């Protein structure tokens, strides 16, 4: 069958002057258009030696010179004088309405191995990718584009790969499901590492996809070659390279399965040549069908019985919940009400139970409230659910402790516990509640908790009046946020004094709180809010950062504008790295190199296409927050704060 020819209009009549060269694209074909001695010609744009773009070259002494290494071609025939090589030329017609080039009709897309892998990825429920497209991941990017056009994938192009990893981590922390982050070989891949470590240390699933230089040149040290297998070895629970003859659907299946089941980082490396390799005829995408078992594991009867006996005998039991209990709180609250047990949270667990609940005591530890610390001091038994005994929380080893976790390595982490229970939190909570009598004889702490809350709220009101003349105090800001932020919002919090103040002063209802927990990485707040918006676009998304944290990923405000993300950003501008200044003083060091030179962030937001509001007086807070919440796109509320009134 004869191949069909298609004519493409590529230039206006007067667009190309004598001895000029221009790159055009016809369909998917890149051409170098030349004008030499009054004749317009069309050459393949790719130099056959290193792929140099001839359309970026110049006509010198009657020859078109490749801009990369100086090889010459005749600008009309494509022949290299004195040699038998050259570049292909194509028929040209100059018509009344422009210049046309004839090309063979493009063949339908041939399914590639990355098509199979991206189809597998979406079948496993990974529907969002954050990343940057670049020269060593173009084949994989094209496979993603096809899935996006099919409505099965959403791609968010960011300004820095570190933001991509943080956004994917925020998505996973909110949903428990993996998102993917995506970069090129070399620096694009290494830029992902900080956000991936955040996900790993906070035990959330995430998928990292990185390009790589061609396999045939790995080793000698070519441009942007990094040993990615070694670079990702410590952060990824599973990392593999994809080759032309790999079992492609199975590799992606194993990557997503490892991320989900181990709540960890999985990584795939895509050498450049493998990305566009044709898939085997009839190659099928993988899916989770038959690949995942139910995860509602329950503890052995002996250990469960020991835990029940301790709970029956406790007079003042308390429940401590961490991030691991995020998706299991209905059963936890039911158990707490059966036990009359106050509920304390770790900082990562802030908001898992509404502060208005009569058994809620807020956050325990360095970022916590006087309520939680007082109740802990009165406890005679702890039931710890999904928490990891970090120094930040300060769970005492002296109190008899029952600990429940899905990961047996987390049980008794740091010190021995009385009864370690290996089980899924919802299932275990139900078993404990079912085994307890209607009344265990424990003390009802509700009146005591209410009294402690009253004392703490009075203290917060006193602090909200503090004014040294150097900016607003944090107590007043977070009191306004408590009044104005919707109950079902998602709040992404950065690292710094703003984080500690949020933990102390903001009172949660049903808000979901995201933070960089064990890694404690500054810069997390805004990118994670972007991930939260992708996961829950129908909820109000709020980012809380300091000036230091936002400064690391300021460019992502333009990402939020591009995709219409209505993120409400509350930025505490105290013109310094206040937490570090505080630590220098506490360590009896001089305060050194913690001051910051900032722009007017509200004007910066306006320049990016967002709403910018600057707050310098306490009575402006509520109105500014209301205005930002009502805005249809990204909004930034810059609050000028006192670095010492935290």
Domain limit, last residue, from 104, 122, 150: 104
Distance (Å, whole) CA 521 – CA 320: 24
DSSP codes, 222-274: -TT---HHHHTTTT-SEEEE--TTS-HHHHHHHHHHHHHHHTSEEEEEEEGGG
CATH code assigned at 90: 2.102.10.10
> Among 354, 313, 347, 310, which Cα is nearest to 332's?
354
> Looking at the domain assignment, is residue 124 inside a domain?
yes
> Looking at the domain assignment, is residue 370 inside a domain?
yes
Average pLDDT, the chain: 94
> Looking at the domain assignment, is residue 581 inside a domain?
yes
**pLDDT band at 149, cuts 50/70/90?**
very high
Number of structural domains in the chain: 4
**pLDDT band at 2, cuts 50/70/90?**
low
Q: Encoding tokens for residue 631?
A: 């805005």
Residue-level pLDDT at 95: 96
pLDDT of 1 > 70? The answer is: no
Residue-level pLDDT at 283: 94
CB 319 within 8 Å of CB 383: yes
Domain limit, last residue, from 104, 136, 157: 104
Residues 503 and 381 in one domain: no
What percentage of the chain reaches a pLDDT higher than 90? 88
> Among 291, 171, 169, 100, which Cα is nearest to 541's?
171
> Looking at the domain assignment, is residue 293 inside a domain?
no
Residues 42 and 140 in one domain: no
Distance (Å, whole) CA 179 – CA 198: 14
> Looking at the domain assignment, is residue 483 inside a domain?
yes
Predicted confidence (pLDDT) per residue in 390-426, tens digit: 767 767 788 999 999 999 999 998 889 999 999 999 9
Residue-level pLDDT at 415: 87
The residue to which tokens 């497209």 are assigned: 133
Residues 99 and 124 in one domain: no
Predicted confidence (pLDDT) per residue in 432-444, tens digit: 999 998 888 899 9
Predicted confidence (pLDDT) per residue in 434-483, tens digit: 999 888 889 999 999 999 999 999 999 999 999 999 999 999 999 999 99
> Looking at the domain assignment, is residue 630 inside a domain?
yes
Parent domain of 370: 301-447
Residues 266 and 215 in one domain: yes
Q: Encoding tokens for residue 152?
A: 């099965």
Residue-level pLDDT at 217: 67
Report the range of poorest mean pLDDT among 132-146, 381-395, 497-511, 566-580: 381-395
- Find the mean pLDDT for residues 557-578: 97
Distance (Å, whole) CA 113 – CA 171: 27
- Find the mean pLDDT for residues 575-592: 93
Pairing of strands 381-385, 401-405: parallel
* CB-CB neighbours of 558 under 10 Å: 16
> Among 216, 234, 233, which Cα is nearest to 225's?
216
- Find the mean pLDDT for residues 291-312: 93
Distance (Å, whole) CA 207 – CA 257: 10
Predicted confidence (pLDDT) per residue in 192-214, tens digit: 999 999 999 999 999 999 999 88
Relative orientation angle of helices 248-262 and 113-123, to the nearest 10 degrees: 30
Distance (Å, whole) CA 12 – CA 387: 67
Q: How many helices (H) and strands (E) does the chain have?
A: 20, 28
* CB-CB neighbours of 336 under 10 Å: 25
DSSP codes, 148-162: HHTTS-EEEE-SSHH
The residue to which tokens 């109190």 are assigned: 399
Residue-level pLDDT at 569: 98
DSSP codes, 372-435: HHHHHHH-SEEEEES----TTTT--TTS-EEEEESSGGGTT-SS--SEEEES-HHHHHHHHHHH
> Looking at the domain assignment, is residue 601 inside a domain?
yes
Residues 265 and 117 in one domain: yes
Q: In what order do the strands lie in the sheet with 20-26?
A: 20-26, 29-36, 39-44, 89-90
Predicted confidence (pLDDT) per residue in 537-551, tens digit: 999 999 999 999 999
Residues 268 and 330 in one domain: no
Residues 422 and 499 in one domain: no
pLDDT of 257 > 90? The answer is: yes
Residues 325 and 427 in one domain: yes
Residue-level pLDDT at 413: 86
Distance (Å, whole) CA 94 – CA 500: 70
> Among 535, 523, 530, which Cα is nearest to 174's?
535
> Looking at the domain assignment, is residue 282 inside a domain?
no
* CB-CB neighbours of 564 under 10 Å: 11
pLDDT of 3 > 80? The answer is: no
> Among 518, 577, 519, 517, which Cα is nearest to 545's?
577
pLDDT of 368 > 80? The answer is: no
Residues 118 and 94 in one domain: no
Residues 493 and 573 in one domain: yes
Sign of CA dihedral 236, 237, 243, 248: negative
Residues 440 and 478 in one domain: no
What percentage of the chain reaches a pLDDT higher than 70? 99
Residues 633 and 517 in one domain: yes
* CB-CB neighbours of 233 under 10 Å: 11
CATH code assigned at 360: 3.40.50.1220
CB 197 within 8 Å of CB 165: no
Distance (Å, whole) CA 243 – CA 221: 20
Distance (Å, whole) CA 423 – CA 299: 5
DSSP alpha helices (H): ranges in 277-380?
301-313, 329-339, 370-378
pLDDT of 498 > 80? The answer is: yes
CATH code assigned at 181: 3.40.50.970
**pLDDT band at 628, cuts 50/70/90?**
very high
Distance (Å, whole) CA 646 – CA 502: 9
Q: Encoding tokens for residue 2?
A: 């004869």
- Find the mean pLDDT for residues 78-107: 93
Helix (H, G, I), strand (E, B) or coil at 185: coil
**pLDDT band at 389, cuts 50/70/90?**
confident
| Ramachandran class of 82: left when φ > 0, alpha when ψ lies in -120 to 50, beta otherwise | left
> Against a cut of 0.85, is the pTM above it?
yes
Domain limit, last residue, from 412, 447, 482: 447
């Amino acid at each position: 069958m004869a191949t069909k020819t298609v004519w493409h209009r590529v230039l206006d009549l007067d667009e190309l002057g004598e001895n000029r060269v221009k790159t055009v694209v016809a369909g998917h074909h890149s051409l170098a258009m030349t004008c030499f001695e009054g004749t317009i010609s069309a050459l393949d744009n790719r130099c056959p030696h290193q792929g140099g773009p001839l359309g970026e070259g110049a006509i010198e002494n009657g020859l078109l010179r490749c801009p990369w290494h100086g090889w010459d071609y005749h600008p009309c025939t494509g022949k290299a004088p004195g040699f038998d090589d050259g570049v292909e030329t194509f028929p040209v017609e100059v018509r009344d309405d422009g210049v046309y080039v004839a090309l063979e009709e493009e063949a339908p897309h041939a399914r590639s191995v990355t098509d199979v892998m991206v189809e597998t990825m979406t079948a496993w429920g990974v529907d969002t990718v954050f990343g940057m497209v670049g020269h060593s991941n173009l084949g994989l990017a094209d496979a993603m584009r096809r899935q996006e056009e099919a409505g099965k994938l959403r791609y968010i192009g960011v300004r820095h790969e570190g933001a991509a990893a943080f956004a994917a981590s925020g998505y996973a922390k909110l949903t428990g499901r993996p998102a993917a982050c995506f970069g090129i070989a070399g620096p694009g891949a290494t830029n992902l590492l900080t956000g991936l470590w955040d996900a790993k240390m906070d035990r959330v699933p995430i998928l990292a996809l990185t390009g790589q230089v061609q396999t045939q040149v790995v080793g000698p040290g070519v441009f942007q070659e990094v040993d990615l297998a070694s670079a990702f070895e410590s952060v990824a629970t599973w990392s593999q390279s994809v080759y032309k003859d790999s079992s492609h659907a199975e590799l992606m299946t194993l990557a997503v399965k490892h991320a989900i089941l181990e709540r960890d980082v999985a990584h795939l490396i895509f050498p450049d040549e493998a990305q566009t390799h044709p898939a085997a005829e009839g190659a099928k995408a993988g899916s989770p069908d038959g690949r995942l078992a139910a995860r509602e594991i329950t503890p052995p009867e002996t250990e469960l019985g020991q835990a029940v006996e301790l709970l029956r005998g406790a007079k003042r039991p308390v429940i401590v919940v961490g991030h691991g209990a995020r998706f299991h709180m209905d059963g936890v609250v039911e158990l707490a009400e059966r036990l009359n047990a106050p509920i304390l949270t770790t900082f990562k667990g802030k908001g898992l139970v509404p502060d208005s609940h009569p058994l809620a005591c807020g956050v325990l530890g360095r970022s916590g409230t006087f309520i939680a610390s007082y109740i802990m001091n009165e406890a005679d038994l702890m039931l710890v659910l999904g928490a990891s005994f970090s120094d930040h929380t300060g769970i005492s080893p002296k109190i008899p402790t029952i600990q429940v976790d899905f990961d047996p390595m987390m049980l008794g982490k740091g010190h021995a516990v009385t009864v370690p229970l290996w089980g899924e939190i919802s299932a275990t909570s139900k078993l404990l509640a079912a085994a307890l009598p209607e009344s265990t004889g424990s003390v009802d702490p509700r009146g005591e908790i209410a009294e402690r809350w009253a004392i703490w709220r009075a203290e917060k009101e006193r602090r909200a009046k503090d004014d040294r003349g150097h900016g607003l105090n944090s107590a007043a800001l977070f009191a306004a946020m408590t009044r104005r932020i919707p109950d079902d919002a998602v709040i992404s919090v950065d690292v710094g004094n703003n984080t500690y103040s949020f933990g102390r002063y903001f009172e949660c209802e049903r808000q979901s709180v995201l933070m960089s927990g064990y890694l404690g990485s500054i810069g997390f707040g805004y990118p994670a809010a972007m991930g939260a918006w992708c996961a829950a676009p129908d909820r109000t998304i709020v980012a809380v950062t300091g000036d230091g944290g936002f400064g690391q990923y300021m460019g992502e405000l333009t990402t939020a504008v591009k995709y219409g993300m209505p993120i409400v950003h509350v930025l505490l501008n105290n013109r310094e790295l206040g937490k570090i200044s505080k630590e220098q003083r506490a360590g009896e060091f001089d305060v050194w190199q913690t001051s910051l030179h900032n722009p007017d962030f509200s004007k910066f937001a306006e320049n990016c296409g967002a709403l910018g509001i600057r707050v310098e007086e306490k009575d402006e807070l509520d109105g500014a927050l209301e205005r930002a919440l009502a805005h249809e796109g990204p909004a930034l509320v810059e609050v000028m704060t006192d670095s010492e009134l935290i």
